[in-house]
Amino acid sequence: MATRKVAPAVAAGCTMVLKSANLTPLTSQLFAAVMVEAGLPAGVLNLIPTSTAGATTGPLIKDSRLRKLSFTGSTEVGRRLLSDASETVLRTSMELGGNAPFVVFEDADVDAAVAGAMLAKLRNMGEACTAANRFIVHESVADEFAEKFAAKMAGMTTARGTEAESKVGPLIDAKSRDKVHELVSDAVSAGAVAVIGGAAVDGPGYFYQPTILKGVTEGTRILSEEIFGPVAPIITFDTEDEAVRLANNTEYGLVAYVFTRDLNRGIRMGERLETGMLGLNAGVVSNAAAPFGGVKQSGLGREGGLEGIEEYLYTQYIGIADPYAG
């Protein structure tokens, strides 16, 4: 996360204050040390590790010397930061929550869709804003997709990273694991069935079984809230219009995934889906050379690509009088 923000800021000639995440401070410290080792002058990047984010960022946001605020995190926190930034009309970039739809049409290569689903769902154990959150699968291929998806999930062993058989590591903390199970339980109570998984795994560590839920119904929390865990809820559709409606039925709009052999349909879906990014027959879209970001309540601005450095620049027009004018 830090590299996406610091790199364009350095390129644009900015100095920065980086507040590391309170649950993962060591990564930012190592990153800052590497930047110094690479020759970044003292005082250009200033790192503040803290467990009290508000007490740290509050005074910074109110400081008249600040010109830009870039944040990656939850939509809830993003809203508060945007409110604080409004007092000084501070320029902001917000990379917030996601609720990515993963749409599989009847003409899709199901094996390719399953391979893409594994990448889109289990990246960082599902703890990623780009993680596929809702699997919207055509009713004619839903059983085949679920069966093959479950077979792949069954081979994903939950274990600590120091163990050779580890394929899926722990979630970040107990609160996160408890929320994942709460969402699964809510879906099951509404009629969904766990094809595989559906329970926590004993630690040490906060593990949750790779899980696939079939028969998920509209209105359940798991379709509206960001899961942030290795759980894949499947809901079926009949027509393209229904798939679009289900995919867009969220306050978020970061990324979507679409699997179809029909290129015209794929392009059409890109135009109809309310997301900042689209993976067409691909389970990974992130690329440092491409603009990363969403619409709706998934955020503002872009990181990466040519657009990324523009977030740290502003346009100035200078009108010069013509000395030879009559």
Judged on CB neighbours under 10 Å (0-12, 13-18, 19+), 212 is: buried
* Contact in structure between 174 and 139 (CB atoms under 8 Å): no
95 catalytic per annotation: yes
Within 8 A by CB and 6+ apart from 170, the residues are 125, 158, 160, 177, 203, 205, 206, 207
DSSP state of 210: -
Q: Which of 87, 127, 129, 310 is catalytic?
A: 129
* Contact in structure between 130 and 293 (CB atoms under 8 Å): no
Integer angstrom CA distances of residue 258 from 107, 203, 215, 312: 11, 36, 20, 32
Q: Which of 95, 226, 303, 311 is catalytic?
A: 95
Q: Which of 282, 302, 264, 314 is nearest to 90 (CA)?
A: 314
129 catalytic per annotation: yes
- The Cβ of residue 151 has, within 10 Å, a number of other Cβ atoms equal to 11
Active site residues: 95, 129
